Structure 1
Amino acid sequence: MSGKSEFLTCQRVLGLMVLLGSMIHHMLRVNISIAIIEMVNRNNTTSTTDAPRYNWDEEEKNNVLGYFFWGYVLTQIPGGRLSEIFGTKIIIGIGIMTASLFTILTPISSYMNYYCLLFVRFALGIALGVQWPSMPPMATKWVPPTDMSKFLSHLTASSLGVAVTLPMCGYLIDYWGWPSVFYVTGTIALTWTICWFYLIYDSPERHPRISENEKLKLRHEIKRDMPSAKKKSTPWKKILTSGPVWAIVMANTCASFTFFIAFMQLPTYMSHVLHFSIKANGWLSSLPYFVRYCTSVISSCVADFIKKSERLSTTAIRKTFCSILFFGTFILFAIQAFWGYNSIVSVAVFTSSLGLMGLATPGIYANSVDIAPAYSGTVYGISQVPAALAGYALTKIVAVITKDEQSFQQWIYVFWIVAGVNLFAFLFCLIFISGDEQSWNHKTDDAEIEKLQNDGSKECP
């Protein structure tokens, strides 16, 4: 029993729940990307189920995809700051629970009215927007700095969520119609929420079932890095005028712009331009996400190993991974712009580009903890605002370019835009990224640490 408890530590349970939660997050986002193919009337297709179809043009269809981002952008900064103040557990728990309910309501809202559906998509974005920026504040209390990239790679399990969801949705649509996609994914998310509230606590000191050995071990490893910004005024001016913060903002925005081309538009491109069936579409669209998760885990382990060995500085580690990510993606989308009409080339390019996106974990995601552990949620939330808007901008760009014709000739313009964005990101990050802790970050002194630990212990039943 003791050996089992030492293996299944509270920290590992947290890692598992973060991994599953990341899968759930993108499951609730990507489900409509493949469902919308069957939700829209097309002259050359027939439905095998009784599910209704709607006469939406390209602009209306992309609004259904894009309105999510207007809600998503609103809760990025509040999500990070509220988690620093009230704790990650309650913020993420309420967010996913609310998102699961709106997911289940999606078919009903589409039956009622097109604008009801847009509202549900907007509300879904609000609910899910708190999740990503809420995670760094919890990570700083549970994970040592030398393991931070590896832990945050759990966030890219969102790719596994997409990889599982797309083929699953393909089969659900084929057998039971597109509404089943939202009922099934929403129910899965509700189940996860119940487990989250029972299993997860904001810090080792607050956890009622943690062993003394694990608590002492974590206290020793994280003591000097324990952030506490609850009662401190946020140094907004210094944060918003910080070069390293803007490096994270630009890197996250450009990476998200590239990610969303695959996340929101790949199923449509596979269907309309490459003419894959709905089931084949689901499997082929999911392939890049498996690769992304694998590269995220591997590159994060490599980054943490280098950090522990002290062979490179933290700044050099972040710049190296960002440079490979952005310059490599620039090359890939230039290739896609020339030969993307070939299905083999397209699958290879999208798979490779999302594989490179895995390098964002050691290159970008861990960087907010490097420069400001106490305000990591706020900094990451700030970077998520333009990143979310990039997703909406991409839906509008694709809608305008492909409004009259869904052909490779039209998509060439999209691919060159994505290539240009990555070239800009490569140059910007090479100059401005830093891994050094900033002077405006609040450091917790020994007295505060002891008080936090004692307060947490008193709350345990």
Structure 2
Amino acid sequence: MDEDENPILPSNNDSFGKELKSNESFEKLPPGVGKWFSTRFCIAYLGFFGFMNVYALRVNLSVAILSMVNASYQVVNHTAKDACPASSHHRNMTGGEFNWDAHDKGLVLGAFFYGYITTQLPGGYLAGKFGGKWLFGCGVMCTAVLTLLTPIAARYSFHLLIAVRIIEGIGEGVTFPAMHSMWGQWAPPLERSMLVSLTYAGCHLGTVIAQPVSGVLCASSFLGGWPSVFYIFGTLALVWCIVWFLLAANTPAEHPRISKKELEYIQNSIEPRCNDLPVPWLEIATSKEVWAISIAHFCNNWGFYTLLTCLPLYLKEVLQFDITQDGFISALPYLVMWVSINLSGLLADTLREKGVFTTTQTRKICNSIAFIGPAIFLVVAGYVGCDQIAAVSCICLATAFNGFSFPGFNTNHIDIASRYSGILMGITNSWATIPGFVTPIVVGALTETNPSRTQWLYVFYIAAGVYVVGTVLYVILGSGVEQEWNKVTYNKQDDERKPLLGDESDSGYIQENGNGKLH
């Protein structure tokens, strides 16, 4: 193990000092350059609302499916021996129009991810080549249009619904790589944790809003009940697309309203990107740092998707929540996680800027908190019996700790290779998408004939075990140090840029005081 790359806590050895000096060389925020109301933070706010829509479109089916399915068809003779008593407000929803069993529901909930996995790597490559603005916006727009068509597809045939969900996944699969590629050019090193966390926190606020609103809409007669869920959120996403196309820009240099000081600050902080450079595919494929992020991403999403797609089923079938309560209660963990993401991102950047921890240490500490916390509290949730408040509190604590994953592995792509951050996100998110279609099937297999607390405890144990494995491997393999294959060298005499990998190419950049600048 390279000591320079893998300290977890500060020490007095040379490796710590070396990396700390590297962190101290990062460009600090100069006087006169704004922060919270700056252009780069406006991009983060736009991305935040974009991912609100992305996750609202993704999770609304998890609540709507409870009203879509004829419950009396799927649970006949499958009463759990340790079933919790129904609350006085609980209503059995047996009037759904579709006769789907647990296996069918698993297919419907997981179909999205079969398409989602196919466009991760192409999305990262295209965003790096042509910019992330249009790719991100068009991906959301495609998903929004297909969401509007979901009720029609469901009523026409089960197979058409599966096809629509797969195509939705194809459209939405480019969103994270596209946004990560943009942050590779927009996010100064000492603000990466905050900007990335702020942007992707929109996912969880989208869940907070979508789940309770979906529950209320399903229980109403507005636009036919459950179909209104897809009509409302599909329309809102299309409105966001228009705003994004009008206000966003691929790079700081392309933004018409950015100040000169902010533009210089960003350009002095980030290695310039040249689209003509060949992608170092072999170095990426054999990089232990990339594998560390991939493993962490996979393990994180196993636990997260267990909650995202299956929590409404757990609350309804085990804890006996009414569907209108279900949406509000299922949203609470994501509200807690939204707060945690923003606070942990700010904390991580503050600790790095003050030199308390190196980038490597910050990523590993945050990631360990993000994985061990949920591993503990998911298992505890399975042992609290029918105490609804205790069970939901444990799940909320699990998601609160999991919010630290964003300044953990989720920002790490940009640390090690800002030039190829979109491609790296595409690679790691491809691995991380597998749990999206596997976990609903696993949960269905474990709970279809016996949706009991005992069976759900197995679900939580599996998720906890995956979290522990991810913690250990990320600590061993991970790093926050920029990789050599991301760097370029410059010949200052003939003003010619020379990549460390691939052919020489004149890119119009020079090196000045260690920073690439436009001239």
**Length-normalised TM-score, structure 1:** 0.92
Whether contact under 8 Å (2:447, 2:456) holds in the other structure is yes
Equivalent residue for 2:110?
A: 66
1:352 aligns with 2:400: no
Q: Which structure 2 residues correspond to residues 40-51 of structure 1 after superposition, within 5 A?
A: 40-43=69-72, 45-46=92-93
Q: Does 1:230 align with 2:280?
A: no
1:131-166 Cα shifts (integer Å, max 9, x gaps): 111112211222211000000012122100000111
Worse overlay, 9-18 or 184-193: 9-18
Q: Which runs of 5+ in 2 are unaligned?
A: 1-31, 73-90, 498-505, 511-517
SS of the equivalent of 1:75 reads helix
1:6: Cα distance to partner? 9.5
For the 8 Å contact 2:71–2:94, the answer to whether it is kept is no
- Residue 452 (structure 1) shift: 7.4
Q: Distance in 2 between matches of 1:275 and 1:452?
A: 63
Residue 441 of structure 2 aligns to which amino acid in structure 1? K
Is the contact between residue 73 and residue 129 of structure 1 (CA under 8 Å) also seen in structure 2?
yes
| Cα offset, 1:419, TM superposition | 1.1
Partner of 1:257: 302
1:312 deviation in Å? 1.4
**Higher relative helix content:** 1
Alpha-carbon distance, 1:215 to partner: 3.2
User: For residues 109 and 269 of structure 1, what CA distance do their matches in structure 2 show?
Assistant: 27
- Aligned partners of 1:32, 1:122: CA distance in 2, in Å? 13
Single out whichever of 221-230 and 260-269 deviates more from structure 2.
221-230
In the aligned structure 2, how far is the partner of 1:55 from the partner of 1:105?
20
Match of 2:231 in 1: 183
Contact preservation (8 Å) 1:225, 1:443: no
Matched with 1:330 is 375
1:316 to 361, 364, 367: 361
The match for 2:466 is 421
Q: Rg bigger for which structure?
A: 2
| Higher alpha-carbon deviation: 339-348 or 74-83 | 339-348
Question: What is aligned with 2:46?
Answer: 17
Question: What is the 5 A alignment of 1:95-244?
Answer: 95-153=139-197, 154-175=199-220, 176=222, 177-210=225-258, 214-244=259-289
- Contact kept? 1:228, 1:444, Cα under 8 Å: no
- 1:375-416 Cα offsets, whole Å, 9 max, x none, are 111111111011111111101100111121211121111111
With the length of structure 2 as denominator, give the TM-score of the two structures: 0.82
Unpaired runs of 5+ residues, structure 1, are none
User: Which of 434, 444, 468 does residue 399 from structure 1 map onto?
Assistant: 444
Contact 1:201 1:207 in 2 (8 A): yes
Task: Note the C-alpha offset of 1:7.
Answer: 7.3
Shift in Å, 1:442: 3.7
Question: Is the partner of 2:486 in helix, strand or coil?
Answer: coil
Contact 1:71–1:126, Cα closer than 8 Å, also in 2: yes
Bigger drift between 22-31 and 11-20 goes to 11-20
Match of 2:408 in 1: 363
Deviation of 1:223 after TM superposition, in Å, equals 2.4
Distance 1:89 1:340 in 2: 48
Contact (CA 8 Å) 1:227, 1:443: kept in 2 or not? no
Q: What does 1:376-455 align with in structure 2 at a 5 Å threshold?
A: 376-443=421-488, 451=508
Cα displacement string for residues 254-308 of structure 1 (whole angstroms, at most 9, x for unaligned residues): 1111111111000111011111011110110000111111111111111101111
Q: 1:339: Cα distance to partner?
A: 2.5
Q: Once structures 1 and 2 are overlaid, which stretch shifts more, 404-413 or 277-286? A: 404-413
In the alignment, the residues of structure 2 paired with residue 46 and residue 278 of structure 1 have an alpha-carbon distance, to the nearest angstrom, of: 8
RMSD value, Cα: 2.3
SS in 1 for 2:103: helix
CA distance in 1, matches of 2:348, 2:381: 29
**Aligned partners of 1:340, 1:231: CA distance in 2, in Å?**
59
Amino acid in structure 2 at the alignment position of 1:190: L
